[in-house]
Chain A
Amino acid sequence: MVSQFNMSSMKRSNSLFGRVDKVALLLYVAIVLLGLLFITSASYNPDSENFFSFSHNYMKQAVWIGISSVVVTVVLLLDRRLFHMFAVPAYVIGVGLLIAALLFGREVNGAKAWFEFGGFRVQPVEFAKIATALMMARVMSDYSFNIKRLIDLIKVGAVILLPFSIIVLQNDTGSGLVLGAFIFVFFREGLSKYIYFPVIYTVFLFIVSLIFEPVVIFTALLVLFTLYSFLKHGAFLGHLRFLLIIILVAMLLAVFTPMSGYVALMVAVSTAIVVLLVFVFKTHTLTLLWPIVLFIYAMIFVPTSDYLFTKLEPHQQNRIRIFVGMIDDPQNVGYNVNQSEIAIGSGGLFGKGFLEGTQTRYNFVPEKHTDFIFCVVGEEFGFLGCFVVVSLYIALILRLMRMGERIKEPFGRVYCYSVAAMMLLHVLVNIGMTIGLMPVMGIPLPLMSYGGSSLLAFSLLIMIAIRLDATTSDNDMSMGI
Chain B
Amino acid sequence: MNNRGRVYYNILRLVVVGVGVVLLARLMWLQFHSEQYKEKARSNSIESVVEFPMRGEVLDRNGEYIVKSRSCYDVMIIYKELPKEGFDTTRLMSILDISREKLEKHLREARRSPRASILVVGYLSQDNKLRLDEMNITGITTRYRTAREYPRKVGGNLLGYVSEVSREQVDKLPDYVAGEYIGSNGLESAYEDELRGKKGVKYYNIDAHRAIIGPYNEGNSDVQPERGLQLVSTIDVRLQEFAEDLMEGKIGSVVAIEPATGEILVMVSSPSYNPDLLVGRQRGNNYMELFHDQRNPQFNRSVKAKYPPGSTFKLVQGLIAMQEGVLTPSMRYPCNMGYKYGGRTMGCHAHASPLDLRDAVAQSCNAYFCQVFKDMITNPKYGSVKEGVRVWNDYVYSFGFGRKLGTDLYGEGAGNVPTPEFYDRVYNGRWNYGSVLSCSIGQGEMGCTPLQMANLAAIIANRGYYYTPHLIKKIEGRDSIDARFYERHYTMVDSIHFVPIVEGMWRGVNVQGTSRTAYLKGWDVCGKTGTAENSGPDHSTFLSFAPKDNPKIAISVYVEHGGFGSAIAVPIASLIEEMYLTGTIERPELVERVKAAKPNYRIYDERQRKYDAKRNKK
Contacts and interface: CB of A to CB of B under 8 A. Distances in A.
- Chain A complexes with chain B: yes
Interface of A: 184, 187-188, 190, 339, 341-349, 358-359, 362-364, 378, 382-383, 386-387, 390-391, 393-394, 397-398, 401, 405, 417, 420, 424, 427-428, 431-432, 435-437
B405 to A, nearest CB: 57
Interface stretch (B13-21, B133-141, B267-275, B310-318): B13-21
A363 B209 contact: yes
B37 A401 contact: no
Contacts of A363: 207-209
A394 B44 contact: no
A428 B41 contact: no
Interface of B: 1, 4-5, 8-9, 11-13, 15-17, 19-20, 22-24, 26-28, 30-34, 36-38, 40-41, 44-46, 205-209, 213
Contacts of B28: 383
Given A347-B31, A383-B28, A424 B41 contact: no
Contacts of A436: 26
A397 B16 contact: yes
- Would you list the 10 A-B pairs with minimal beta carbon distance, nearest first? A345-B37, A348-B34, A346-B41, A362-B207, A394-B20, A358-B45, A346-B37, A345-B30, A383-B31, A363-B208
B45 A435 contact: no
A188 B8 CA distance: 5
Contacts of B41: 342-343, 345-346, 358-359
B5 A349 contact: no
Contacts of B16: 394, 397-398, 401, 420, 424
A435 B26 contact: yes
Contacts of B13: 398, 401
A97 B15 CA distance: 33
Given A363-B207, A390-B20, A390-B24, 9 more contacts: A341-B37, A344-B30, A346-B40, A391-B20, A394-B19, A398-B16, A401-B9, A405-B5, A437-B22
A437 B12 contact: no
A364 B30 CA distance: 18
B34 A345 contact: yes
B29 to A, nearest CB: 9
A299 to B, nearest CB: 30
21 contacts: A187-B11, A341-B37, A342-B37, A342-B40, A342-B41, A344-B31, A344-B37, A345-B36, A346-B37, A347-B34, A348-B31, A348-B32, A348-B34, A349-B34, A378-B31, A383-B27, A383-B31, A390-B24, A401-B9, A401-B12, A437-B23
A196 to B, nearest CB: 11
B7 to A, nearest CB: 10
Contacts of B12: 184, 187-188, 401, 417
A398 B20 CA distance: 11
Contact of B23 (A348, A398, A431): A431
Given A342-B41, A358-B44, A364 B9 contact: no
Residue from B24, B27, B28, B41 with most neighbouring chain A CB atoms (10 Å): B27
Contacts of A387: 24, 27
Interface of B is mostly: helix
A240 B26 CA distance: 39
Contacts of A397: 16
Contacts of A362: 45, 205-208, 213
Given A342-B37, A397-B16, A398-B13, A349 B205 contact: no
Contacts of B36: 345
A398 B32 CA distance: 28
B23 A432 contact: yes
B13 to A, nearest CB: 6
A424 B31 contact: no
Contacts of B206: 362
Contacts of A428: 19, 23
B32 A383 contact: yes
A417 B16 CA distance: 12
Contacts of A437: 22-23, 26
A391 B205 CA distance: 33
Nearest to A349: B31
A358 B23 contact: no
A348 B23 CA distance: 15
The residue among B11, B44, B205, B206 with the most chain A CB atoms within 10 A of its own CB is: B44
Contacts of A420: 16
Contacts of A364: 44-45, 207-208
Contacts, number: 122
Contacts of B9: 188, 401, 405
A405 B1 contact: yes
Nearest to B6: A405
A397 B209 CA distance: 39
Contacts of A405: 1, 5, 9
B554 to A, nearest CB: 65
Given A383-B27, A398-B13, A401-B13, A346 B32 contact: no
Contact of B45 (A345, A348, A359, A401): A359
Q: Which of B13, B15, B19 has the most CB of A within 10 A?
A: B19
Nearest to A188: B8
Contacts of A187: 8, 11-12
A347 B19 CA distance: 22
A378 B26 CA distance: 12
B8 A190 contact: yes
Nearest to A357: B41
Nearest to A393: B20
Contacts of A417: 12
A230 B15 CA distance: 29
B454 to A, nearest CB: 62
A405 B6 CA distance: 9
A363 B208 CA distance: 5
A420 B8 CA distance: 14
Most buried by A among B1, B24, B31: B31
A424 B46 CA distance: 37
A397 B11 CA distance: 14
Nearest to A423: B16
Contacts of A398: 13, 16-17
Nearest to B45: A358
A450 B467 CA distance: 80
Contact of A424 (B19, B24, B32, B37): B19
A362 B15 CA distance: 37
B218 to A, nearest CB: 13
A349 B34 CA distance: 8
A332 to B, nearest CB: 14
A344 B32 contact: no
A64 to B, nearest CB: 26
Contacts of A386: 24, 27, 31
A96 B459 CA distance: 108
Contacts of B19: 394, 424, 427-428
Contacts of A346: 34, 37-38, 40-41
B10 to A, nearest CB: 10
A22 B309 CA distance: 107
A428 B16 CA distance: 10
Among B4, B26, B205, B206, max chain A CB count under 10 A is at: B26
Contacts of B34: 345-349
A292 to B, nearest CB: 28
Contacts of A188: 5, 8-9, 12
Contacts of B22: 437
Contacts of B23: 390, 427-428, 431-432, 435, 437
Contacts of A401: 9, 12-13, 16
B224 to A, nearest CB: 24
Interface hub of A343, A347, A358, A432 (most chain B Cβ within 10 A): A358
B45 to A, nearest CB: 4
B472 to A, nearest CB: 47
Contacts of B8: 187-188, 190
A359 B207 CA distance: 8
A77 B494 CA distance: 120
A371 to B, nearest CB: 16
